[in-house]
Structures are given as structure tokens and as C-alpha cells.
Structure 1
Amino acid sequence: MEKQTLPNSTLILVFGILSILSCCCHGILGLIFGIVALVLAKTARQTYLAEPALYDGYNNVKTGRVLAIIGIILSAIYLVINIVLIAIYGWDGMEEMSREWMRVYEN
């Protein structure tokens, strides 16, 4: 009997990668992709552990899960940093800092 690919195994891997890549988008997108990847990985893991002989692609699930955890941690750190900076400098101060950084990097 031929092994089936585990449902959503590739999607879990892609969402894990996207959670890391999008962690710098104020932390929100990385959290969303990471949490979705973890939920999908949990169901895929339960499916695989019920009958491991039937499914292939569990390595994608494990890798995607690890990447999602890393992405969630990075996104949470980035989100906390943004919240602290906004609390310290205010929204107007953050806009002024970003304008100053753009002026510095343009020259």
C-alpha cells in the first residue's frame, strides 16, 4: 500500500517560514501565521500518531512546528518592543524617529 502525504504538511511548513519572515511586521502577522501553523501541526501530529504507517511527510510537520515556535517568539518580542516604544515616546515620537532614520539612510 502506498503512503499518503500527511494533510497540510506543506502548508504547516510554509506558515512556519512565513511566521519568521513576517515577524517584523509589527509582530502581528508573525503571530497569526505561527499560531495557525501550530494548530495545524497539532491536528496533523494526532493524525500521524494514530496510524504512522499510512502517512508520509511528518518531517515537514515537525520542521514547520519548530519554525512556527521560533516565529511566535520573535513576533512576541518585536510586538512587546513596539508597545514599549510607543508607551515611552508616543505615536508622534515614533513617527518623528522613523522620519529621522529615513533622512539618515537617504544621505
Structure 2
Amino acid sequence: MQKQQLPNSTLILIFGILSIIGCCCYGLVGIIFGIIALVMAKRATAIYNANPELYTGYNNVKTGKILAIIGLVLSILSLIGTIASFIMYGGIEGMQEMQEEILREIQENQ
């Protein structure tokens, strides 16, 4: 019997990569892609474990799952950092005020 590609194995790998890249977008995109990749990897693993001799591409699933976990952790840290900066500086207006204050101090010292 000919082996067939495990369903969504390549897509899981792509979503795992996108979860790492998505951590740069305030963490939200990375969290979304990471969760989707982990759910799909769980389903693909269950399919593979039922009949491992029928499928190829399980390495893509394992790699995608690892990348999704890494991307999820990085995205959560990025989201926490973003929330912390908004709390500390009061949002965008607070950051602009802080930048103006720093510029005034630099101009006064020159």
C-alpha cells in the first residue's frame, strides 16, 4: 500500500513559522497562529498514531508543533511587554509626552 501525506502537515509547519514571525506584531498574530498550529498538530498526531504505516510527513508536524510552542511563548512575552508599556507610559499619548520631555532635556543640555 502506498503511503500518503499526513493531512495538513505542511500547513502546520507554515503556521508554526508564522507564529514566530507574528510575535513581532504585538504578540496577537503569533498567538493566533500558534494556537491554530497546536490544535491542528494534535489532530494530525492522533491520525498518525492510529495508522503510522499509512502516512508520511510526521516530521513536519513535530517541527511545526515545536515552532508553534516557541512562537506562542515569544508572542505571549511580546504581548505582556506591550501591555506593560501601555500601563507604564499611559498609551501612545503618554509615550509622545515622554519623547517630548526627553527632547526638551536634550535641547536644554546643549
TM-score range (shorter-chain normalised) is 0.7 to 0.9
Aligned residues: 99
Q: Which residue of the partner structure matches residue 25 of structure 1? A: 25
TM-score, normalising length: structure 2: 0.85
Name the aligned partner's letter for residue 41 of structure 2.
A
| Larger-gyration structure (1/2) | 2
- Give the superposition deviation at 1:95: 4.7
1:93 to partner: Cα distance? 2.0
Q: Distance in 1 between matches of 2:77 and 2:5?
A: 34
Percent of matched pairs sharing the same residue:
61
Residue in structure 1 matched with residue 59 of structure 2 by the alignment: 59
Superposed displacement of residue 22, structure 1: 1.2
Distance 1:56 1:14, change over 3 A: same
Structure 2: tracts of 5 or more residues without a match? 101-110
Q: Unaligned regions of 5+ residues in structure 1, if any? A: 100-107
Q: Stretches of 4+ moved more than 3 A in 1? A: 94-99
- Give the structure with the larger helix fraction: 2
Structure 1 residues 46 and 98, CA gap change in structure 2 (3 angstroms): farther
Q: What is the alpha-carbon distance in structure 2 between the residues aligned to residue 64 and residue 73 of structure 1?
A: 14
- Give a deviation string over 1:43-95, Cα, whole Å, max 9, x none: 00000000000000000000000000000000000000000110010111235
- 1 CA distance for matches of 2:64 and 2:41? 8
Counterpart of 1:36 in structure 2 is 36
1:76-91 → structure 2 map (5 Å cutoff): 76-91=76-91
